[in-house]
């Protein structure tokens, strides 16, 4: 899902491919989230919670007469709020001898009301199971005590008010009785007079009111007395005491562990898309075709296929794919063009793998083929084909040998020969001339049908990329996970400018580079190959690279074995501008000098 080519559409496969490529990191973050959440569950302070079930009773209706709460069904919402009151918290604090404030104690008490019931579930938390059990039971008892005391206060104040009213009524009755008696015995007041009847009615009303007040007082006093008795259940009772918790309520495994997993997945997926957005490489055939804008001729993108240590067998699926590619190349080249360039678009060994397998497939299925290792510093083709490394393209470019002298046979593929990079790869690109390369390619086409040239388009090894100028067509080797879309497009443009038409791309998986090979490899300036590829062993086969007494050995100033009469230039001679080129550093070890006596280096004469 690279963004550098500015595509104008996205597909679901773009996102799923990111998940597939980054699955290891996503799973790693998910496991990390589970581990961290599990560690928190194990190491965090445990909190235990106990719950007591309290039944709340409605007060008798006669309590309303003396100032009690509403009779009948209880308002459970009000009762739940009263559990969090400061009065209840103060009772709990006193019983538990807690150093916490009343607000902290009130917040630690949780109340729940089951639907359609007159029960309260009062919960309390503590750092120990016994502490939580004790706190819950104390909280339930404190609520009942506070409710009982509050109701008793209301009843007591109501009874006192009624008693005061009864005293007033008694005094009023006594006054009315005395007034009525005096009025009846006055002269002139006849029985049944309006005055006497008025006093009589007032006396009757006062007596009735007094009787009603006395009745209320008489009914409230037993209720008050019952509430004052210890362990009464008038206001409510504990239906189920709190039990000892068997497991901590916090941290909760079923909450934190899945949360850690989800958080790890979210972080992993987010980082996966973030890293993939900044990734400048191609990872699939779709990326190559979309961003590189080249058709795919060969695709070995399956994870089961890895870059081999030798050429693929024609009986394997990759071998059959290379054979089909050889047929495509043979048809595309036709009779007029027989030179093909294989250009790498990454610093790996993709071009070596494609060129070696394609050359072997062409030799097996068509005719004589030569593979030219144009990637002088990083080629792996001779090792894949089992060819010895000796004099090769470097000597051809420097004029020390002709192409026929440096051809190396491949044991398993009789009609395939290889031109190795040679012994002086460091200076070959400096003295490379078009006439020399053209003559070499012409000499090869005189004896073989196909010439495959391996070149590198990126990095320090691309100094011989111009060899593609002598090719009729080219294939771009793309290494998944290493090649970049810009490098693929740039390689295609450069090949087009050099006159080599691009047939398409060959997609191969990235080849691993072992850490041991990097450690064992000498510094770049002390070895003929630059990169992470291990140099080939200098063990020539009998009669292949060793000195042949029947062949003349070229010395400096003498005609070359190829027949050219031009002598090697004298690099010690001062130039017209007064500058003098320094003598090159010796490029051969004592072992190489013993194996290749007088390699005919025109620069030094070693």
The residue extents of the domains of the chain are: 12-44+253-276, 48-240, 285-511, 554-606
CB 248 within 8 A of CB 128: no
Per-residue pLDDT, 582 = 36
pLDDT over threshold 80, residue 497: yes
Q: How many CB atoms lie within 10 A of CB 387?
A: 27
Record the tokens describing residue 334, joined without a space. 């036709």
Positive or negative, the Cα torsion across 381, 384, 388, 389?
A: positive
* pLDDT grade for 560, boundaries at 50, 70 and 90: very low
Q: 502-533, pLDDT tens digit by residue?
A: 999 998 887 654 343 343 333 433 333 333 33
* pLDDT grade for 65, boundaries at 50, 70 and 90: very low
How much is the average pLDDT of 101-105?
A: 94
Record the tokens describing residue 28, joined without a space. 């790693």
**Closest Cα to residue 246, out of 133, 117, 94?**
133
How much is the average pLDDT of 465-473?
A: 89
The overall average pLDDT reported for the chain is 78
For tokens 């295609």, what's the residue? 492
Per-residue pLDDT, 129 = 93
Spatial neighbors of 252 by CB under 8 A, at least 6 apart, are 41
CA dist list (Å): 391 to 372, 399, 598: 12, 12, 12
Give CA–CA dist 286/18, Å, rounded. Answer: 13
pLDDT over threshold 50, residue 433: yes
Q: 278-322, pLDDT tens digit by residue?
A: 777 787 788 788 777 888 999 887 766 666 778 888 888 888 999
* pLDDT grade for 446, boundaries at 50, 70 and 90: confident
For tokens 């609520």, what's the residue? 143
Percent of the chain with pLDDT over 70: 77
**Closest Cα to residue 373, out of 307, 422, 326?**
422
Residue 237: what are its φ and ψ, rounded to 5°? -155, 160
How much is the average pLDDT of 59-67?
A: 53
Give CA–CA dist 17/577, Å, rounded. Answer: 61
Spatial neighbors of 195 by CB under 8 A, at least 6 apart, are 183, 189
| Range with top average pLDDT, 415-429, 524-538, 545-559 | 415-429
How much is the average pLDDT of 416-426?
A: 86
Percent of the chain with pLDDT over 90: 29
* pLDDT grade for 356, boundaries at 50, 70 and 90: very high
Per-residue pLDDT, 301 = 76
Hey, what CATH class is 48-240 in? alpha beta
Tell whether domain 285-511 is in CATH 3.40.50.300: yes
CB 122 within 8 A of CB 54: yes
Within this chain, domains 48-240 and 285-511 share the same CATH topology? no
Q: 364-405, pLDDT tens digit by residue?
A: 998 899 999 988 888 888 888 888 878 888 888 888 888 888
Per-residue pLDDT, 526 = 36
pLDDT over threshold 70, residue 8: no
Least confident interval from 421-425, 444-448, 533-537: 533-537
pLDDT over threshold 80, residue 409: yes
Comparing 212 with 286, the larger pLDDT belongs to: 212
How much is the average pLDDT of 437-443?
A: 88
Q: List the beta bridge partners of residue 454.
A: 342, 373
Q: 230-284, pLDDT tens digit by residue?
A: 778 888 999 999 999 998 888 888 888 999 999 999 998 888 888 777 777 787 7
Give CA–CA dist 202/177, Å, rounded. Answer: 10
Per-residue pLDDT, 101 = 94
How much is the average pLDDT of 127-145?
A: 93
Give CA–CA dist 322/355, Å, rounded. Answer: 10
User: If you ran DSSP here, which 8-state letter would residue 192 be given?
Assistant: T
Give CA–CA dist 108/90, Å, rounded. Answer: 13
The torsion of the CA quartet 239, 245, 246, 251, rounded to 10 degrees, works out to: 140
């Amino acid at each position: 899902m690279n963004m550098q080519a500015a595509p104008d559409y996205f597909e679901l496969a773009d996102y799923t491919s990111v998940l597939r490529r980054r699955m290891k990191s996503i799973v790693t973050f998910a496991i990390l989230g589970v581990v961290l959440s599990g560690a928190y569950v194990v190491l965090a302070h445990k909190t235990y919670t106990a719950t007591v079930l309290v039944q709340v009773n409605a007060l008798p209706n006669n309590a309303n007469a003396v100032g009690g709460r509403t009779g009948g069904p209880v308002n459970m919402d009000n009762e739940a709020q009263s559990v969090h009151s400061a009065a209840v918290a103060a009772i709990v604090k006193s019983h538990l001898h807690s150093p916490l404030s009343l607000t902290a104690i009130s917040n630690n008490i949780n109340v729940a009301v089951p639907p359609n019931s007159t029960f309260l579930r009062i919960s309390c938390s503590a750092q120990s199971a016994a502490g939580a059990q004790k706190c819950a039971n104390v909280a339930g008892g404190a609520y009942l005590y506070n409710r009982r005391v509050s109701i008793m206060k209301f009843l007591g104040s109501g009874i006192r008010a009624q008693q005061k009213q009864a005293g007033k009524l008694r005094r009023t009755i006594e006054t009315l009785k005395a007034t009525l008696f005096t009025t009846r015995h006055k002269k002139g007041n006849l029985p049944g007079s309006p005055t006497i009847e008025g006093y009589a009615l007032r006396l009757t009303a006062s007596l009735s009111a007094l009787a009603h007040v006395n009745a209320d007082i008489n009914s409230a006093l037993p209720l008050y007395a019952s509430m004052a008795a210890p362990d009464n259940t008038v206001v409510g009772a504990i239906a189920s005491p709190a039990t000892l918790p068997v497991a901590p309520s916090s941290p909760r495994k079923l909450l934190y562990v899945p949360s850690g997993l989800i958080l790890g997945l979210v972080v992993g997926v987010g980082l996966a898309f973030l890293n993939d957005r900044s990734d400048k490489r191609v990872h699939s055939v779709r990326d190559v075709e979309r961003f590189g804008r080249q058709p795919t001729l060969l695709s070995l993108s399956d994870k089961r296929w890895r870059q081999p240590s030798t050429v693929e067998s024609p009986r394997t699926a990759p071998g059959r794919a290379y054979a089909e590619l050889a047929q495509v190349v043979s048809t595309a080249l036709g009779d007029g063009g027989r030179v093909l360039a294989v250009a790498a678009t990454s610093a790996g060994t993709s071009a070596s793998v494609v060129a070696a397998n394609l050359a072997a497939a062409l030799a097996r299925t068509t005719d004589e083929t030569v593979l030219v290792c144009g990637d002088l510093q990083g080629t792996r083709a001779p090792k894949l084909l089992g060819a010895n490394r000796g004099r090769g393209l470097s000597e051809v470019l420097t004029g020390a040998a002709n192409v026929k002298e440096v051809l190396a046979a491949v044991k398993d593929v009789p009609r395939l020969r290889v031109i190795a990079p040679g012994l002086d790869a460091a200076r070959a690109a400096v003295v490379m001339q078009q006439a020399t390369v053209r003559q070499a390619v012409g000499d090869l086409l005189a004896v073989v049908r196909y010439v495959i040239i391996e070149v590198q388009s990126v990095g320090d090894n691309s100094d011989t990329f111009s060899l593609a100028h002598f090719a009729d067509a080219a294939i771009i080797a793309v290494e998944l996970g290493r090649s970049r879309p810009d490098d693929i497009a740039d390689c295609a443009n450069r090949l087009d400018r050099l006159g080599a038409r691009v047939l398409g791309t060959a997609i191969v998986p990235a080849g691993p580079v072992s850490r041991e090979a990097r450690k064992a490899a000498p510094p770049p300036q002390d070895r003929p190959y630059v990169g992470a590829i291990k140099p080939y062993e200098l063990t020539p086969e009998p009669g292949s690279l060793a000195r042949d007494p029947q062949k003349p050995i070229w010395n400096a100033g003498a005609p070359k074995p190829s027949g050219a009469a031009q002598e090697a230039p004298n690099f010690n001679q001062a130039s017209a501008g007064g500058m003098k080129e320094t003598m090159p550093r010796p490029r051969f070890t004592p072992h190489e000098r013993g194996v290749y006596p007088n390699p005919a280096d025109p620069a030094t004469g070693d």
